[in-house]
A = this chain, B = another copy of it.
């Protein structure tokens, strides 16, 4: 069990009445239990909490009149992941996969697995099936991309990244997801908090469906998979943007943190970690 304190503070200058859709609150799941959670707004504003998408991501919706708005979120997350030895985790057979994961084989906005299937098969089709194959994909992505903030935009896709070979966490995740889908492994995007991420920010990583469970991978290698706190999951970043605004508001400040409360995170040596 790992205990992680997470939080973020956002400040906006709201210039017109603006609808905020926020996806910054951590998920409550069997393997991720939240305590001491608070989400506060200054000035105070009525907020609606709802669940959206196939996986019931938490969404906070609020309508804000012109003002300077501070949003403060914090919680403590207790993680109790399932941990396996990588070599024990095989791939699920397509004929047996639970129907609800099939959606995560489809191409999506930033993960054009239809375009990259042949590439994926050529590079990774001959590897032994299983956890190690997804690791090989993540290694390939990590080795071939250069982490370069500002080199991509909100509309950059996996194909773009494969060609230009630079990006940030969301781009790494998109490319790895796309390559997984390309060889028939369901894969999805996860947004969240990551312990001791440098520079501190919301993080984007991924899950692949193997042997009946969703396993976590971070192709950037910037964080231990044992220190990832889930906000939401989706087909790609389009589904879990931390904020979507309709109106006019400028972000003045963004602070994100995640700290392990207990002892140091066990050095991972890349175990197979599942929290979903």
The residues of A with any CB-CB pair to B shorter than 8 Å are 19, 21, 50-54, 59, 61, 63, 94-95, 99-100, 102-103, 106-109, 111-112, 114-116, 118-119, 122, 144, 154-155, 159, 162-166, 184, 238-239, 246
Q: Given the complex, which residues of B lie within 8 Å of A122, measured CB to CB?
A: 144, 165
Quote the shortest CB–CB distance from A17 to chain B (angstroms).
Answer: 9
Tell me the minimal C-beta distance from A119 to chain B in angstroms: 6
A7 to chain B, nearest CB (A): 24
Among A19, A94, A166, A238, the most chain B Cβ lie within 10 Å of the Cβ of A238
CB-CB under 8 A from A99, the residues of chain B are 50-52, 59, 61
Which single residue of chain B is at the shortest CB-CB distance from A107? B109
Question: CB within 8 A of A118: which of B106, B114, B115, B165?
Answer: B165
When A54-B53, A114-B155, A144-B122 are in contact, do A102 and B21 touch as well, CB less than 8 Å? yes
In the complex the two chains form, is B163's CB within 8 Å of A163's CB?
yes
How distant is A111 from chain B, measured CB to nearest CB, in Å? 8
**Contact at B106–A184, with CB atoms within 8 Å?**
no
Asked if B165 and A162 make an inter-chain contact with CB atoms under 8 angstroms apart, the answer reads no
CA distance A95 to B69 in the complex (A): 18
Give CA–CA (A106, B109) in the complex, Å.
9
24 residue pairs of the A-B complex, CB under 8 angstroms, read A21-B102, A51-B99, A52-B100, A52-B103, A53-B54, A53-B103, A54-B54, A59-B99, A61-B99, A63-B95, A103-B239, A106-B238, A107-B109, A108-B108, A109-B109, A109-B111, A109-B112, A109-B114, A115-B155, A115-B163, A118-B164, A119-B163, A122-B165, A184-B246
Contact partner of A164 (CB less than 8 A), chosen from B61, B102, B109, B115, is B115
In-complex Cβ contact of A162 among B50, B155, B163 (8 A):
B163
> Contacts A19-B95, A99-B51, A115-B155 given: A239-B106 contact, CB under 8 Å?
yes
**Given A99-B59, A144-B122, A246-B94 contact (CB < 8 Å):** yes
- Give the interface centre of A50, A63, A108 by most chain B CB atoms within 10 Å: A108
